[in-house]
A and B are shown apart, each in its own frame.
Chain A
Amino acid sequence: MIADGVEDEEKWLAAGIAGLQQNAFYMHRALDSNNLRDALKYSAQMLSELRTSRLSPHKYYELYMRAFDELRKLEMFFKEETRRGCSIIDLYELVQHAGNILPRLYLLCTVGSVYIKSKEAPAKDVLKDLVEMCRGIQNPVRGLFLRSYLAQVSRDKLPDIGSEYEGDADTVVDAVEFVLQNFTEMNKLWVRMQQQGPAREKEKREKERSELRDLVGKNLHVLSQIEGVDLDMYKDTVLPRILEQVVNCKDELAQYYLMDCIIQVFPDEYHLQTLDVLLGAFPQLQPTVDIKTVLSRLMERLSNYAASSADVLPEFLQVEAFLKLNNAIGKVIEAQPDMPILGVITLYSSLLTFTLHVHPDRLDYADQVLGACVRKLSGKGKLEDNKATKQIVALLSAPLEKYNDIVTALKLSNYPRVMEYLDSETNKVMATVIIQSIMKNKTHISTADRVEALFELIKGLIKDLDGTLDDEVDEDDFKEEQNSVSRLIQMLYNDDPEEMFKIICTVRKHILAGGPKRLSFTVPPLVFSSLKLVRQLQGREENPFGEEESTTPKKIFQLLNQTVETLSNVPAPELALQLYLQCAEAANDCDLEPVAYEFFTQAYILYEEEISDSRAQVTAIHLIIGTLQRMHVFGVENRDTLTHKATGYSAKLLKKPDQCRAVYACSHLFWVDDQDNVKDGERVLLCLKRALRIANAAQQMSNAARGSTGSVTLFVEILNKYLYFFEKGNPQITVAAIQSLLELITTEMQSDSSTPDPAADAFFASTLRYIEFQKQKGGAVGEKYEPIKV
């Protein structure tokens, strides 16, 4: 049972450590008394603990580390001994008398270290001897640790360029040879571990092997640190030898780890220059090796290298990196037809990132990569795998981030094709990413063609794609989506009116396919874009020789009419009414009387037939009166008709106070400051009097219903309007009328049945103050106000 096994291991380890420590103690005693023989005897006994087969690599490591520490002390002693006159050659020979081979070899390596340091023999000879002697240990775990020890003690004694151990006979070639040999042997041992033990313990073995992998990889690291290993040596010797071992060992675990190790450990420039060789190794690996991850990491490294400085980019071009990588990936995918789609996308994603960094101006390369993706995706239908979809989103987002400009991304012909394979949820996510990119970079999309391409891409947001169910969409999310589309429409713009009109038509075509739910979000921004265009054209002279086809305000108004009409499908009558009035004002500014009249008609129809909520009616009336008041384009007849209707609506509002206010607002329809022919004093007075009657009626109703006459606010408001027109010079407003109104209010306020209303009181007080103030002004105004007694 596993629990037992672990317990046993702990026991053995404890026993091993105890044995080791005991012998170490005696060894130290011998060292202190300079007793070489005893030192060797006890050190050999100590090292015998490492002969155990009972420990897992993890535990063996603990034992090994203790031995390692002790051996350091022994090494120092050996160094002292040689200084005292003992011959190192003799020592080297002496330690070989140790009984068992493993302790013998550890001692030999330790002495060897001192030997090399003494320079009594060339480093390469000692190293060669040691690396070959270690063959005596064929047990994987013991062998790996022994050779690891050798690597550790020899590390600083390699005859590298510029090292003290370099000589005529000793060169960096020898150093490299030594490390390569050690590496090769270690890898063989490591791979052999896979074969040991029963088949059912395969997983356990692989885990143990994993624990030891860094011992093997360390050699590659050492190689990368050797100064003398330049590009040529790497290309000619180091890489081929390593790859030979990697390929020949035919072990999945080793191949994966070592390929990755090579990529991580050696410089990127080397990889670039040996790309052929490196990539050539991949197809020779075992079919179960996760090549795509290794390849992806290679591309990632190269991407970062490219991004690090512009100087390195020419190198990439020179070695045709893109071509080679593209081919390599193609081959890998071909060789593994069952590779899950996630793998394929990951590969192409890494390649795309690489392309964007290294060849930012080669859109055709990027398009190629996307095209390869499309080919691989085709025939598979919409993707179901979540991870794969996420990877595709990452793939598609990369060009957006790199180019900071959706326009460039739009030029990639395969971009929309990749999007076809996303399910509708992800399609929307991607569409949102695209819109966010545009908003963040404040990109203006300025041609109708690009708008068309863009709306194709984001069609997931613009309309219901096949297969989506309405109920599934969260309302808040939906609003957010549509608001972002709304904002997007603001970014579609071109100074040239012809192009702008085309853009508007394109957008219109798409949003009208969006269904009633979307229209109230998408129609308003389109309407205002159109109105802005109208205003732009307004400024220009109408070209009498212009082409039939050119854009005119009239054409735009026709389009607007048809567009606002679609809101009846939603239905959104209040919004539609507001938009009609906006259009009317714009038509007014263009002096297009029939067009303006038509818009007013539409607005009035909506008011009469669709707007029944009281509060909505009040707002609508204010807008109608406010807009109408500003119209100067209407002839007398038209104006009269519209005004008559407006006053009619005002008088029919449900609540009396609303009626009153709307009616006195109508008074302004008959008096416009900058239009001399619209100064009908009589009709103004009629309105105000009507308002008074309504206010009176309101008082009476209040008295009847509640026993008190309610507030005098309405009267004060009307009084203010009297003063307004009085000041403007309306001859029908007399001092007497004002005076009597003042008295009426005062009486009402003092009457028993009135409700005290501090707000109304304050209003009246400030009105009186106003009258006083006007009197004080002197001049014409003062004279006018003088007769009013407060």
Chain B
Amino acid sequence: MVLVLALGDLHIPHRAADLPPKFKSMLVPGKIQHIICTGNLCIKEVQDYLKSLCPDLHITRGEYDEETRCLETKTLTIGQFKLGLCHGHQVIPWGDLDSLAMLQRQLDVDILVTGHTHQFTAYKHEGGVVINPGSATGAYSSITYDVNPSFVLMDIDGLRVVVYVYELIDGEVKVDKIDFKKTTATTHSAH
């Protein structure tokens, strides 16, 4: 069982002061094996904080990020799954599933994680899963109204991944989960 935390669009300090305290108390160091972050943290302090939760931290660049040397896209393999990471402002139209699916095909990944819209979504389609963990701080977005703070925790176990989404609604943390199964194991050979 491998736990992967997916979050992003915190926009600290431009649009939010800090993570909600209820989230902060849930995110304890040592419990999570990987963190993937879609971008727009925006400052180093936040990066340091995430690193303290888990040293294996992957970030892609959001347009407001202070750190400009991050990559635009990233891929990594965790267990049987290939994951792709991208902030999402590069994929137009923003939030459009078909365009995101194209990116997924291009990166050749089972799970694509993007952000930018501050809206949690999890789409399943023939190629795999597209997840948007939303904004962990509930930051203002021109695209989404009434953003609830949210993040995603993925539990990868063999060919199965359970996606837990944590949303802060009216002061309470609500959890939902979605199951995905891969049909075939990842092959590593080139075509």
Q: List A residues at the B interface (Cβ < 8 Å).
A: 439, 479-480, 483-484, 486-488, 490-491, 521, 524-525, 528, 531-532, 535, 578, 582, 585-586, 589, 615, 619, 622-623, 625-627, 629-630, 665, 668, 672, 713, 716-717, 720-721, 724, 727, 758-759, 761-763, 765-767, 769-770, 773
Asked if residues A626 and B140 are in contact (CB atoms below 8 Å), the reply is: no
Asked if residues B108 and A626 are in contact (CB atoms below 8 Å), the reply is: no
Residues of B within 8 A of A672 (CB): 93
Q: Roughly how many angstroms separate A630 CA and B101 CA in the complex, as a whole number?
A: 20
Given the interface pairs A762-B108, A766-B127, A770-B127, the reply to whether A724 lies near B14 with Cβ below 8 Å is: no
Residues of B within 8 A of A487 (CB): 12-13, 17-18
Given the interface pairs A487-B12, A490-B17, A727-B98, the reply to whether A765 lies near B191 with Cβ below 8 Å is: yes
Asked if residues A490 and B92 are in contact (CB atoms below 8 Å), the reply is: no
Asked if residues B45 and A483 are in contact (CB atoms below 8 Å), the reply is: yes
Q: A483-B45, A626-B94, A766-B105 are in contact. List 11 more A-B contacts (CB 8 A).
A: A439-B17, A479-B43, A483-B43, A491-B17, A578-B63, A623-B63, A720-B105, A720-B106, A758-B191, A763-B108, A770-B101
Closest CB-CB distance, B60 to chain A, in whole Å? 13
Asked if residues A626 and B191 are in contact (CB atoms below 8 Å), the reply is: no
Q: Roughly how many angstroms separate A767 CA and B108 CA in the complex, as a whole number?
A: 10
| A to B contact number (C-beta, < 8 Å) | 101
- CB of B26 within 8 A of chain A? no
Residues of B within 8 A of A724 (CB): 98-99, 102
9 A-B pairs within 8 Å (CB atoms) are namely A486-B13, A586-B142, A622-B92, A626-B92, A716-B106, A717-B106, A724-B102, A766-B127, A767-B105
Q: Roughly how many angstroms separate A713 CA and B15 CA in the complex, as a whole number?
A: 37
Given the interface pairs A490-B17, A622-B90, A629-B93, the reply to whether A528 lies near B108 with Cβ below 8 Å is: no
Given the interface pairs A528-B140, A717-B102, A717-B106, the reply to whether A623 lies near B89 with Cβ below 8 Å is: yes
Asked if residues A626 and B93 are in contact (CB atoms below 8 Å), the reply is: yes
Asked if residues B142 and A665 are in contact (CB atoms below 8 Å), the reply is: no
Q: Which residue of chain B has its CB nearest to the CB of A485? A: B13
Residues of B within 8 A of A713 (CB): 106
Q: Roughly how many angstroms separate A535 CA and B105 CA in the complex, as a whole number?
A: 37
Given the interface pairs A532-B140, A535-B145, the reply to whether A770 lies near B13 with Cβ below 8 Å is: no
- CB of B179 within 8 A of chain A? no
Q: Roughly how many angstroms separate A630 CA and B144 CA in the complex, as a whole number?
A: 12
Asked if residues A525 and B13 are in contact (CB atoms below 8 Å), the reply is: yes
Given the interface pairs A623-B63, A629-B92, A630-B93, the reply to whether A528 lies near B106 with Cβ below 8 Å is: no
Closest CB-CB distance, B97 to chain A, in whole Å? 11
Asked if residues A531 and B17 are in contact (CB atoms below 8 Å), the reply is: no
Given the interface pairs A483-B45, A578-B64, A724-B99, the reply to whether A626 lies near B89 with Cβ below 8 Å is: yes
Residues of A within 8 A of B12 (CB): 487
Q: Which residue of chain B has its CB nearest to the CB of A491? A: B17
Q: Roughly how many angstroms separate A483 CA and B64 CA in the complex, as a whole number?
A: 14
Residues of A within 8 A of B17 (CB): 439, 487-488, 490-491
Residues of A within 8 A of B126 (CB): 769-770, 773
Q: Roughly how many angstroms separate A765 CA and B105 CA in the complex, as a whole number?
A: 9
Which residue, of B12, B16, B93, has the highest number of chain A Cβ atoms within 10 A? B93
Question: What are the 9 A-B residue pairs with the smallest beta carbon separation, nearest first?
Answer: A486-B13, A585-B142, A524-B14, A766-B105, A762-B108, A487-B17, A758-B190, A490-B17, A487-B13
Asked if residues B14 and A759 are in contact (CB atoms below 8 Å), the reply is: no
Closest CB-CB distance, B55 to chain A, in whole Å? 22
Q: Which residue of chain B has its CB nearest to the CB of A535? A: B145
Asked if residues A762 and B191 are in contact (CB atoms below 8 Å), the reply is: yes
Residues of A within 8 A of B143 (CB): 585, 630
Closest CB-CB distance, A675 to chain B, in whole Å? 12
Q: Which of B58-101 contact A (CB under 8 A)?
A: 63-64, 68, 89-90, 92-94, 98-99, 101
Asked if residues B105 and A770 are in contact (CB atoms below 8 Å), the reply is: yes
Residues of B within 8 A of A717 (CB): 102, 106
Closest CB-CB distance, B13 to chain A, in whole Å? 4
Q: Roughly how many angstroms separate A758 CA and B191 CA in the complex, as a whole number?
A: 7
Residues of A within 8 A of B106 (CB): 713, 716-717, 720, 759, 763
Asked if residues A766 and B93 are in contact (CB atoms below 8 Å), the reply is: no
Q: Roughly how many angstroms separate A486 CA and B94 CA in the complex, as a whole number?
A: 28
Q: Roughly how many angstroms separate A589 CA and B94 CA in the complex, as a whole number?
A: 16
Asked if residues A490 and B16 are in contact (CB atoms below 8 Å), the reply is: yes
Q: Which residue of chain B has its CB nearest to the CB of A628? A: B92
Q: Roughly how many angstroms separate A630 CA and B191 CA in the complex, as a whole number?
A: 39
Q: Which residue of chain A has its CB nearest to the CB of B139? A: A528
Q: Which residue of chain B has its CB nearest to the CB of A524? A: B14
Asked if residues A761 and B13 are in contact (CB atoms below 8 Å), the reply is: no
Residues of A within 8 A of B45 (CB): 480, 483
Residues of B within 8 A of A484 (CB): 13
Q: Roughly how many angstroms separate A630 CA and B141 CA in the complex, as a whole number?
A: 13
Residues of A within 8 A of B191 (CB): 758, 761-762, 765
Q: Roughly how many angstroms separate A486 CA and B43 CA in the complex, as a whole number?
A: 11
Residues of A within 8 A of B93 (CB): 626, 629-630, 668, 672
Q: Roughly how many angstroms separate A692 CA and B159 CA in the complex, as a whole number?
A: 39
Residues of B within 8 A of A766 (CB): 105, 108, 127
Closest CB-CB distance, A352 to chain B, in whole Å? 30
Residues of B within 8 A of A630 (CB): 93-94, 143
Asked if residues B63 and A761 are in contact (CB atoms below 8 Å), the reply is: no
Q: Roughly how many angstroms separate A531 CA and B11 CA in the complex, as a whole number?
A: 15
Residues of A within 8 A of B18 (CB): 439, 487
Please pick, from B15, B68, B98, B99, the residue contacting A525 in the complex, using a CB distance under 8 A: B15
Q: Roughly how many angstroms separate A615 CA and B12 CA in the complex, as a whole number?
A: 23
Closest CB-CB distance, A13 to chain B, in whole Å? 60
Q: Which residue of chain A has its CB nearest to the CB of B13? A: A486
Q: Roughly how many angstroms separate A440 CA and B143 CA in the complex, as a whole number?
A: 31
Asked if residues A483 and B99 are in contact (CB atoms below 8 Å), the reply is: no
Asked if residues A622 and B89 are in contact (CB atoms below 8 Å), the reply is: yes
Residues of B within 8 A of A727 (CB): 98
Residues of B within 8 A of A585 (CB): 142-143
Q: Roughly how many angstroms separate A230 CA and B51 CA in the complex, as a whole number?
A: 63
Residues of B within 8 A of A720 (CB): 102, 105-106
Residues of B within 8 A of A773 (CB): 126
Q: Roughly how many angstroms separate A713 CA and B73 CA in the complex, as a whole number?
A: 15
Asked if residues A619 and B63 are in contact (CB atoms below 8 Å), the reply is: yes
Q: Roughly how many angstroms separate A770 CA and B128 CA in the complex, as a whole number?
A: 11
Residues of A within 8 A of B101 (CB): 770
Residues of A within 8 A of B92 (CB): 622, 625-626, 629, 665, 668
Closest CB-CB distance, A233 to chain B, in whole Å? 55
Which residue, of B12, B98, B101, B106, has the highest number of chain A Cβ atoms within 10 A? B106
Q: Which residue of chain A has its CB nearest to the CB of B126? A: A773
Residues of B within 8 A of A627 (CB): 142
Q: Roughly how many angstroms separate A479 CA and B15 CA in the complex, as a whole number?
A: 17
Closest CB-CB distance, A225 to chain B, in whole Å? 49
Q: Roughly how many angstroms separate A535 CA and B12 CA in the complex, as a whole number?
A: 20
Q: Roughly how many angstroms separate A585 CA and B126 CA in the complex, as a whole number?
A: 33
Asked if residues B108 and A531 are in contact (CB atoms below 8 Å), the reply is: no
Q: Which residue of chain A has its CB nearest to the CB of B68? A: A615
Residues of A within 8 A of B89 (CB): 619, 622-623, 626
Q: Which residue of chain A has its CB nearest to the CB of B105? A: A766
Q: Which residue of chain B has its CB nearest to the CB of A716? A: B106
Question: Residue-by-residue, is B33-52 near A (CB-CB < 8 Å gives 1, otherwise 0)?
Answer: 00000000001010000000
Asked if residues B190 and A761 are in contact (CB atoms below 8 Å), the reply is: yes
Closest CB-CB distance, B91 to chain A, in whole Å? 9
Closest CB-CB distance, A775 to chain B, in whole Å? 11
Q: Roughly how many angstroms separate A344 CA and B190 CA in the complex, as a whole number?
A: 79
Q: Roughly how many angstroms separate A479 CA and B17 CA in the complex, as a whole number?
A: 15
Q: Which of B158-191 contact A (CB under 8 A)?
A: 190-191
Closest CB-CB distance, A191 to chain B, in whole Å? 61
